[in-house]
Amino acid sequence: MTGSDTSERQAVAADVPTARQLRSRLRQARRRHRTQSVGDLLTDVYMVVLFGVMYGVAFVSNAREYLDSPAAAAADAGERYWIVVAALVAVAGLGWQGLRSVGPLLVVPALQSWAVSSPVDRAAWLRPRFVVLLGGAFGAVGLVGAVSALVDRVGAGVDLVVAVSGAGVVGVAATALAVVAQSSRVGRWWPRLLGVGLAGAGAVLTVGVVVAHFTGGGLVRPSGSVAVGLLAVGLPLAVLTTALAARSLPLVDRAALTTGAQFANAAATAAVMLDPSLLGGLLESRRWRGVGRVRSRRFLAGRRWWVLVQAEVRRLRRHPSAVPAWVALILVQYAVAVAAPALAGSAQVIGAYLATDRLTGGLRSLSRSPGLRRALGGDDARNQLAHVVVPGVGAALWWLATLPVGGPSLGWVAVVMVSGVVVAAYRAGTRPPLDYDTPVAHTPFGVIPVGLMTQMLRGWDVVAVLVVARLLLS
């Protein structure tokens, strides 16, 4: 490149505003049309904090109550400790993959189209978001640390601060590392390996604890504070990864910023509209796009229901996570039976429902698409029943696999429970689009949209009945 080329290239972007100037101009322009006041915003924040504190206090006091009860004493404290560690490692792996799906740095599509696509300095534009993101990560993961410490009855002073800080710096380190991964060019393998590795390590650890439990191998809870260990390891890691991430900010490109934005946008819409299927649709679309191409084969000739069952089996084999999730839930049931045997019966019903629900993709597609139903022809009810065959078999196999750790129950109860789980999964799979024009109930706690809640809890309502029945019949 010649010197004249260089000066010409620089001239292209010579009068470009700074990120601060552009942000300020955009803010001014939008403020002119904005209807939401600062008071409205503070009210929203107050409500979120209020509900957070209410549910947090309730969770801590219930967890403490359970740990003090005779039911909790049935489990070995060392085994329970290691199951919790395994769960946290697995959740960390899933959380890492979640962070990577969202971005974690992102810009909304409008901002991308009209501001970030300009030659404005990318790092300067992203820096305030990066700082807020790290602050949010410290707060969110620190809160988990605080709740864990309170449940574990640590002191309210320095110990609590150490617990919050230990968890918080780990959250900061993970988030900063996710930003480094976001700036990586295509082909880097380590971000995916880290997520899969953590989830896998959690599963292996769980298997180890379960095997130790059934073979009589004793596990002891290590002495020393976990929070201090987290702080000692997490703090230097957080400093290092934050420095690396700050240096990576200029390399976060449009593809990385907008992919996460689509996900975040769908999640926000799903939350506002109280309809998880809005997010599920995007996830489903991305999942199948990742598969790309499959080997198509002819169906074995037969009646309509037989062909539909074959199609359902084929979809299941191609689904990258349905069967692994189904298997993972079996492991979760064994872990619950070891760590909290008193809850094993209820957990088995909930686990069976979640595992069966993973197998109802065909039923959901059919129920949400009038066009698909028209194209298939035949009787709707029969077509839906054909899509219940695979979930039904899946539910029965899952129950059989967890029979040794489901708690005491009579034989006919198992049949009733499996049938109930299939009915619950059927109800969830055939949930129609949400109708927002529904009756509300005026209560001392405010207006409750009863009709909306009934629709949202479709499927879970049957599970709740089954859990109560299981408790009464055990």
Partner 1 sequence: MEALAVQGLSRSFGSLVVLDEVSFTVGVGRIAVVTGPNGSGKTTLLRCVVGADRPDAGEVLVDGRRAYETDAWVRAYVAAALDDIDFFPDLSVVEHLELLAHAHGGSADPVPEVLTELGLDRARDQLPATLSSGQRRRLALASCFVRPRRLLVLDEPEQRLDVRGRAWLADRLRAERDAGTAVLIASHDADLVDAVTDDRIELGA
Selected from 7, 20, 25, 229, the binder of partner 1 by CB under 8 A is 25
Strand pairing partners for 441? 448
* Mode of pairing for the β-strands spanning 441-443 and 446-448: antiparallel
The DSSP H or E segment spanning 448 is strand 446-448
CB neighbours (10 Å) of residue 454?
12
Q: Which is nearer to partner 1, 28 or 215 (CB)?
A: 28
29 makes contact with partner 1 (CB under 8 A): yes
Selected from 38, 158, 255, 375, the binder of partner 1 by CB under 8 A is 255
Q: Which is nearer to partner 1, 30 or 374 (CB)?
A: 30
Q: Which is nearer to partner 1, 66 or 288 (CB)?
A: 288
List the x/- string, 327-366, binding to partner 1 by CB under 8 A: ----------------------------------------
Give the integer Cα–Cα distance in Å for 11 and 8: 5
Give the integer Cα–Cα distance in Å for 54 and 50: 6
Minimum Å gap between C-beta 182 and partner 1 is 12
159 makes contact with partner 1 (CB under 8 A): no
Residues 121-140 within binding reach of partner 1 (CB under 8 A)? 121-122
110 makes contact with partner 1 (CB under 8 A): yes
The CA-to-CA distance between both ends of the chain, in Å, stands at 80
46 makes contact with partner 1 (CB under 8 A): no
Residues 275-294 within binding reach of partner 1 (CB under 8 A)? 289-293
- Give residues with Cβ within 8 angstroms of 84, minimum separation 6: 339
Selected from 34, 297, 298, 442, the binder of partner 1 by CB under 8 A is 34
Q: Which is nearer to partner 1, 117 or 321 (CB)?
A: 117
Selected from 151, 251, 376, 413, the binder of partner 1 by CB under 8 A is 251
117 makes contact with partner 1 (CB under 8 A): yes
253 makes contact with partner 1 (CB under 8 A): yes
Give the integer Cα–Cα distance in Å for 210 and 54: 34
Strand pairing partners for 442? 447
Strand pairing partners for 443? 446
The DSSP H or E segment spanning 441 is strand 441-443
112 makes contact with partner 1 (CB under 8 A): yes
Mutual orientation of helices 411-429 and 344-357 as an angle, nearest 10°? 40
Burial class of 426 by CB neighbour count within 10 A (0 to 12, 13 to 18, 19+): buried
Residues that bind partner 1 (CB under 8 A): 1, 9-10, 12-17, 22, 25-26, 29-30, 33-34, 108-110, 112-115, 117-122, 185-187, 250-255, 258, 289-293
